[in-house]
Amino acid sequence: MGERALHLTAILLVAIGCRQELPAPDRDHLSADALRFARHLMARDYAAAHAMTTADYRARVSIDSLGRAFEFSVPRSMSPVDSLFVQMTDTMAGWAVRQPGDVGWIYVVIPADSTRDGEAVSLIFAREAEGIRIRDVEIGRP
């Protein structure tokens, strides 16, 4: 293994080892909201999913844009199965993308039938005047 590969492996191991799971009460609440958001997407109820986001997100991303992004990764022909699950959570401590008010990150897996691989939704939750909302949405597997 070359020096560059060893360096990249060391960075990856440090990143994995530094991941901090959300505490149980926050994890349970945010996970339930993340699953509800993903179910809205799967039902193609983009308005309901959009309503769960922060005011800033709603100002930047239209309902139609959210729908197009989801359908690009999860087309109607995909037939996702209704067995969504939260695979990872993190407090985001030390993350470069962490902003004031951020409370955590949730990764939701959207399994598919046997005809193709599933997808995922990665969500950052933040506290704002309306309560804890979804600040950022990434659709698709890394």
CATH number of the domain enclosing 90: 3.10.450.100
- For tokens 């993903």, name the residue: 38
**Residue 50 sits in which domain range?**
21-139
Please give the model's pTM, rounded to 2 decimal places: 0.78
- Domain contains 2: no
- 106 in any annotated domain: yes
- How many structural domains is the chain composed of? 1
> Is position 61 within any domain?
yes
Report if residue 1 sits inside a domain.
Answer: no
**Range among 4-8, 13-17, 55-59, 112-116 rated most confident:** 55-59
Contact of 27 with 96, CB cutoff 8 Å: no
Cα separation, 112 vs 91, whole angstroms: 28
pLDDT mean over 14-32: 62
* pLDDT over 80 at 53, yes or no: yes
The more confident residue out of 7 and 105 is 105
